[in-house]
Amino acid sequence: MPLLAIPYPVINPVALSLGPLEIRWYALAYIVGLLIGWRYCLALAERPPRLVGRKDIDDFLAWATLGVVLGGRIGYVLFYNFGYFAAHPSEIPAMWHGGMSFHGGALGVTAAILWFTRKRRLPVLAFADIIAAAIPIGLFFGRIANFINDELWGRVTDVPWAMVFPNGGPVPRHPSQLYEAFFEGIVLFLLLLAAERRGARRRPGLMTGLFLAGYAAARMSGELFRQPDAQLGFLIFGTTMGQLLSLPLLVAGLWLIARARRVG
């Protein structure tokens, strides 16, 4: 091991074993993220401008879960490993082997929001603003789970805080999962919290736009330190799939911010 590398704290990816049943940290991350996010959304619904009721937030939890899980898995299949899954379709439901895409999950949740708000006749942007404010919570726990799973590690580096990941070979790498947990999770959550406290939800779409643009900026920057997926490598002009998929989010986010400021 290089002298300047920090030892990787090996953690069993299985949090709890009950006979043949195994509960993994990765699954717990999704569950905890959804539950804490749901409670945070309930708290936001109680604050002005009160355009969405608590019951609507309660009822949306199941919709959000389906959107995250189904969208995340389908997105990974289509965006990151289509060739493999086309040849092995029986592996598509095997989510316990890993493989989820944030961008796919975002599309799934967006579809759920559009369908749910239309069914309930709710203001779609006001509802989306509450949901968007809570998403960084799930992102934080998800990235910590990536770190525990020894996956999605960073590029080779000689920085003093580099780590040698067991699945990443004998070379020191950026702990990019922790970078993403910090910027996509903590920093983005605090940004949205500050905006909400300053009345951003009085301009429907502003919080959603801030989230989309903020996430895109954090993800595109984080990809500079993250090792691209082996089956994809670098794409056009040295970009990664994560960067390319984040571009539409950045454009949509900036458009929503401009629209909210103009309408508000």
Q: How many domains is the chain built from?
A: 1
DSSP state of 228: P
Asked if the structure places residue 244 within a domain, the reply is: yes
> Who wins on pLDDT, 95 or 109?
109
Size of the chain in residues:
264
| Per-residue confidence (pLDDT) for residue 69, from 0 to 100 | 93
Confidence band (pLDDT; 50, 70, 90) for 19? Answer: confident
Asked if the structure places residue 84 within a domain, the reply is: yes
pLDDT tens, position by position, 31-46: 999 999 999 999 999 9
Asked if the structure places residue 4 within a domain, the reply is: no
| Per-residue confidence (pLDDT) for residue 115, from 0 to 100 | 97
Which whole number is the average pLDDT over 208-215?
A: 98
Asked if the structure places residue 88 within a domain, the reply is: yes
pLDDT tens, position by position, 144-200: 999 999 999 999 999 999 999 999 999 999 999 999 999 999 999 999 999 999 999
Give the closest residue to 131 by CA, choosing from 73, 186, 212, 71. Answer: 212
C-alpha 260: how far from chain center = 24
| Per-residue confidence (pLDDT) for residue 97, from 0 to 100 | 66
> Who wins on pLDDT, 6 or 79?
79
In the chain, what percentage of residues exceed pLDDT 90? 79
Asked if the structure places residue 46 within a domain, the reply is: yes
The rounded distance, in Å, linking the Cα atoms of 233 and 24 is: 28
The two tokens of residue 237 are 């002009």
Q: Which residues contact 209 (CB under 8 A, 6 or more apart)?
A: 252, 253, 254, 255, 256, 257, 258, 259, 260
What average pLDDT does the structure give for the chain? 93
In the chain, what percentage of residues exceed pLDDT 70? 97
Which whole number is the average pLDDT over 211-226?
A: 98
Confidence band (pLDDT; 50, 70, 90) for 1? Answer: very low
DSSP state of 40: H
State the Cα torsion 139-103-241-210 to the nearest 10°: -70
| Per-residue confidence (pLDDT) for residue 4, from 0 to 100 | 62
Asked if the structure places residue 15 within a domain, the reply is: no
| Per-residue confidence (pLDDT) for residue 23, from 0 to 100 | 86
DSSP state of 156: B
- CA distances to 133, 164, 213, 223, 228 from 188, rounded to whole Å, are 9, 28, 10, 16, 23
Which whole number is the average pLDDT over 257-262?
A: 94
pLDDT tens, position by position, 48-57: 999 999 999 9
Global confidence as pTM: 0.93
pLDDT tens, position by position, 138-148: 999 999 999 99
Asked if the structure places residue 16 within a domain, the reply is: no
Asked if the structure places residue 2 within a domain, the reply is: no
> Who wins on pLDDT, 3 or 126?
126
| Per-residue confidence (pLDDT) for residue 264, from 0 to 100 | 61
Domain hosting 40: range is 21-263
| Per-residue confidence (pLDDT) for residue 182, from 0 to 100 | 98
Confidence band (pLDDT; 50, 70, 90) for 6? Answer: confident
| Per-residue confidence (pLDDT) for residue 22, from 0 to 100 | 84
pLDDT higher than 90, residue 212: yes
